[in-house]
Amino acid sequence: MLKLSIGAVLALTTALPAFADMNFNRVAAFAVPSNADNTAEETSAEIIAATADGQTLVYTDSPLGVIGMIDIADPAAPKPLGVMEMSGEPTSVAIIGQTAFVGVNTSESYTQPSGALHVIDIASRSEVTTCDLGGQPDSVAVAKDGSFVTVAIENERDEDLGDGGLPQMPGGFVVKVPVSDGVLNCAGLQKIDLTGVPTIGATDPEPEFVDVNAAGEIVVTMQENNHIAIIAADGSVATHFSAGTVDLDGIDTKKDGKLSFDGSLQDVPREPDAVKWIDEDHFATANEGDWKGGSRGFTIFNKDGTVVYDAGNSFEHLVASAGHYPDKRAGKKGAEPESVEFGLFDGQPLLFIGSERGSIVAVYDVTDPANPAFLQLLPSGIGPEGYVALPSRNLLVSANETDARGDGNAEAHVMIFERSEAAASYPMITSAGTQPLIGWGALSGLVADATQPGMLYAVADSFYSAQPRIFTIDATTTPAKITGAIDITRNGPPAQLLDLEGITLDGQGGFWLASEGRSDRMIPHGLIHVNADGEIEDQIGLPAELAHVETRFGFEGIAMDGTTLWMATQREWGDDPAGLVKLVSYDTDSGEWGAVHYPLEAKGEGWMGLSEITIHDGVAYVLERDNQLAQRAKVKKIFQVALSDLTPAPLGGDLPVVRKQEVRDLLPDLKATGGYVVDKVEGFAIDASGNGFIVTDNDGVDDSSGETLFMNIGAMGNKTGG
């Protein structure tokens, strides 16, 4: 079995044919609720397909029981075309020409599975016919020549019954239905029995995914059985084999609030989910895994069962290097590759592997199936489940099933990427190349080096509470590079009970940090002084005047002016008038506390608050934002306050209100990514050359798209001149 490191995979690019230097970049994000009733509590875009002309997308929406349609004549401006009821749960869709074939689950129970194949004329939005499938459909695929449709009838098990294992009857099978002149011949339906084929759960095969090659051969994965079968053009099982196991080293195996890629798993079943043919002899599987911690990669097989390539830990490392590693899934499936797509773009064979929980897709050149060459990573949206490649239009489309509005995040989206000669715009920051690999995410505070342009430091919040760190960033490269990580320690071990939201230089080689605090989790508000090695030298709690009015929304930024620290409080505390928040001061020499009031912008939906404070060249800059995203986001702005206004008054009395002046509206910057506007712009710094940098908090990829936006927004001038 061939296993390659990331470095080895990257080195192989020099041996590839001389394809044009092309990259995918996102050009649009289509919000699924805009295609249906906006009052729906949950929507989804799970499996997606496109018409032959590449002008219309069709996706399944299981929560609403519909299929949705999108006009992408202009891929940068997708338009809603509405939905169609499916009288059940649509599970998959495939298209021949302008005709959609939709698998619909109508099962009454796990023991009485049923389903149908609905044939939809896309142009007229009408149902042509319905074919009874005799079981619960999962994946639907069509022959390259349009001569038949095949469906994986999973008849899935009840995971809450017993230990959720196999067998649980009835077993699944595959159906093949002929198509003639675009007309589905239900009477000619062929049931292909797989009973006895897999070694595991032989009486209960559970076909998961199907795909068809140019020779009319069907490859079918049986994930729970850890088995793969090749069905010949005549419908017989030509060959079958175990999907095998992998040994994994250098992976994160614990859900523990830190990213440590030093674990190992041995003899892990691959358990392939999605599958796609690369050519007539090779196919790729996304190994979602389940048993023994998950297999975490993808595999390319020859159809005779030979493994020609296995990703090992490299896919997981790629996901982590871009800040997309889901630590909450570390003990189960890790990066959890679930989706695979293939397309031949201008003669270049490209494979796309999607991480469902990491919400990212990796692009590989598979000119040599035994040596895939990694090309780039793309931000896919929350919970990517399905992809469709449109080589004739140089497009890739992702369907994201997760609607996280209930958790204050984004609705489900369909995202569109266009291939061109433009430079890759994502990721904007990466730790690729660090040894050992530096895992990161949830960046919440930013400060620039005092003398070296483009050198910055960042902290992560309490999502990684077991691994508080200061990250060193080289922002002179594209993407910016995380080059090091300083562990924050207390008497040796990693410090605990910290929620780091701000960082500033202490002028002596160390740092002052702001910990936001959460009393309900026994995380105190306060200031932390660390030396250059990250060892805590001093920790300062709130004075009584602040402690008795604090809320969980505390210090979100910190800056230093001489011997005075200034902290931006995120939201109003108990003694603040509505619309005013404190900028709190602490004199490091005298130990005196003080504050001024800062006037917030008018509040729309949600709340308004502060995320950062930076002092540069005699001016204080404050980052102010609402907690809204996508089309609901209204305020993501940088304001400046004259240092002469920052004259602190004693705590407990009336506080002066400072004047502010808008410096930059960040909404155009956030919209320029082609995705939806993210919520948490949390870090802002100005480097030694006067350039401003912003960074967003990706919430540790928890009910989040995982995207971290790191941007150089250019020279920051003093608008007041004072």
Task: Give 332-389 pLDDT, tens digit per residue.
Answer: 999 999 999 999 999 999 999 999 999 999 999 999 999 999 999 999 999 999 999 9
State pTM to two decimals: 0.95
Task: Write the CB contacts of 492 (distance below 8 Å, at least 6 apart in sequence).
Answer: none
Q: Is residue 460 a contact partner of residue 500, using CB atoms and an 8 Å limit?
A: yes
Which of helix, strand or coil describes residue 701?
helix
Q: Check whether residue 388 and residue 434 sit in a common domain.
A: no
DSSP state of 380: -
More confident call, 718 vs 47: 47
Mean pLDDT, residues 571-581 taken together = 96
Output the six-digit token pair for 637.
């702005």
For residue 48, the model assigns a pLDDT of 98
Q: Check whether residue 381 and residue 442 sit in a common domain.
A: no
- Alpha-carbon distance of 59 to 51, in angstroms, equals 11
How many other β-carbons are positioned within 10 Å of the β-carbon of residue 74? 11
Output the six-digit token pair for 550.
């604090």
For residue 163, the model assigns a pLDDT of 76
More confident call, 127 vs 163: 127
- Alpha-carbon distance of 478 to 692, in angstroms, equals 15
The strand pair at 480-487 and 429-430 is best described as: parallel
Q: What is the DSSP string of 317-357?
A: HHHHHTT---GGGTTTTTT-EEEEEEEEETTEEEEEEEETT
pLDDT confidence band for 233 (50 / 70 / 90): very high
CA distances from 493 to 468, 487, 488 (A): 11, 9, 8
> pLDDT, tens digit, for every residue of 466-518?
999 999 999 999 999 999 999 999 999 999 989 999 999 999 999 999 999 88
Task: Please give the distance of CA 511 from its chain centroid, rounded to a whole number.
Answer: 31
For residue 307, the model assigns a pLDDT of 98
Residue 291 lies in a domain: yes
Q: Say if residue 583's pLDDT is above 50.
A: yes
SS3 content of the chain, % helix, strand, coil (to 5): 10, 45, 45
Q: What is the DSSP string of 385-429?
A: EEEEEEGGGTEEEEEE----GGGTSPPPEEEEEEEESSPP---SE
- Alpha-carbon distance of 490 to 513, in angstroms, equals 14
Q: Which residues pair with 530 in a beta bridge?
A: 511, 536
Handedness of CA 331, 48, 396, 390 (dihedral sign): positive
Task: Sort 279 into a burial class: Cβ within 10 Å, 0-12 / 13-18 / 19+.
Answer: middle
Instruction: Report how many domains make up the chain.
Output: 2
Give the CATH number, domain containing residue 334: 2.130.10.10
pLDDT confidence band for 160 (50 / 70 / 90): confident
- Alpha-carbon distance of 155 to 204, in angstroms, equals 9
- Alpha-carbon distance of 714 to 666, in angstroms, equals 12
Q: Check whether residue 312 and residue 270 sit in a common domain.
A: yes
C-alpha dihedral, 31 to 34 to 40 to 41, nearest 10°? 20
Residue 489 lies in a domain: yes
- Alpha-carbon distance of 214 to 483, in angstroms, equals 46
Which of helix, strand or coil describes residue 699?
helix
Give 503-509's long-range contacts (Cβ < 8 A, gap of 24+).
503/445, 503/446, 503/447, 503/457, 503/458, 503/459, 503/470, 503/558, 504/447, 504/558, 504/559, 504/560, 504/565, 505/447, 505/449, 505/450, 505/560, 506/560, 507/450, 507/560
Residue 721 lies in a domain: no
Q: In the chain, count of helices (H) and strands (E)?
A: 4, 51
For the chain, the first-to-last Cα distance in angstroms comes to 66
- Alpha-carbon distance of 397 to 414, in angstroms, equals 7
Residue 425 lies in a domain: no
Residue 1 lies in a domain: no
CA distances from 483 to 259, 261, 440, 476, 706 (A): 16, 16, 11, 12, 20
Residue 722 lies in a domain: no
Mean pLDDT, residues 38-51 taken together = 89
Handedness of CA 415, 629, 358, 271 (dihedral sign): negative
Output the six-digit token pair for 134.
């005799």
Output the six-digit token pair for 119.
């044939």
Q: Check whether residue 379 and residue 487 sit in a common domain.
A: no
How many other β-carbons are positioned within 10 Å of the β-carbon of residue 107? 17
Q: Check whether residue 412 and residue 462 sit in a common domain.
A: no
Residue 315 lies in a domain: yes
Query: Considering only CA atoms, which of 381, 376, 324 is closest in space to residue 350?
Result: 376
Q: Check whether residue 48 and residue 148 sit in a common domain.
A: yes
For residue 39, the model assigns a pLDDT of 67
- Alpha-carbon distance of 673 to 645, in angstroms, equals 36
Q: Say if residue 408's pLDDT is above 70.
A: yes
Q: Check whether residue 554 and residue 415 sit in a common domain.
A: no
> pLDDT, tens digit, for every residue of 58-108?
999 999 999 999 999 999 999 999 999 999 999 999 999 999 999 999 999
Q: Check whether residue 415 and residue 557 sit in a common domain.
A: no
Task: Please give the distance of CA 378 from its chain centroid, rounded to a whole number.
Answer: 9
Q: Check whether residue 658 and residue 699 sit in a common domain.
A: yes
Q: Is residue 103 a contact partner of residue 115, using CB atoms and an 8 Å limit?
A: yes
- Alpha-carbon distance of 607 to 594, in angstroms, equals 25
Looking at 397, 420, 443, the residue that finishes a domain is 420
- Alpha-carbon distance of 17 to 366, in angstroms, equals 11
Q: Say if residue 8's pLDDT is above 50.
A: no
Task: Write the CB contacts of 261 (distance below 8 Å, at least 6 apart in sequence).
Answer: 250, 251, 252, 313, 316, 317, 320, 436, 437, 439
Task: Sort 503 into a burial class: Cβ within 10 Å, 0-12 / 13-18 / 19+.
Answer: buried
For residue 591, the one-letter residue type is: G
Mean pLDDT, residues 154-165 taken together = 85
Check whether the bond before 170 is cis (ω within 30° of 0).
Answer: yes
Q: What is the DSSP string of 503-542?
A: EEE-SSS-EEEEE--BGGGTB--EEEEE-TT-BEEEEEE-
Looking at 420, 448, 478, the residue that finishes a domain is 420
Which of helix, strand or coil describes residue 124?
coil
391 Rama sector, left if φ>0, alpha if ψ -120 to 50, beta otherwise: alpha
Give the CATH number, domain containing residue 673: 2.120.10
Task: Please give the distance of CA 667 from its chain centroid, rounded to a whole number.
Answer: 21
Residue 684 lies in a domain: yes
Can you point out the beta strands (E) in 76-136?
A: 79-85, 89-96, 99-105, 115-121, 126-132
Q: Check whether residue 569 and residue 540 sit in a common domain.
A: yes
Domain residues for 354?
6-420
Mean pLDDT, residues 153-164 taken together = 86
- The number of residues in the chain equals 722
Output the six-digit token pair for 592.
């005196």
Handedness of CA 367, 368, 370, 375 (dihedral sign): negative
Q: Check whether residue 373 and residue 434 sit in a common domain.
A: no
Looking at 396, 420, 444, the residue that finishes a domain is 420
Q: Check whether residue 185 and residue 324 sit in a common domain.
A: yes
Q: Say if residue 15's pLDDT is above 80.
A: no
How many other β-carbons are positioned within 10 Å of the β-carbon of residue 378? 27
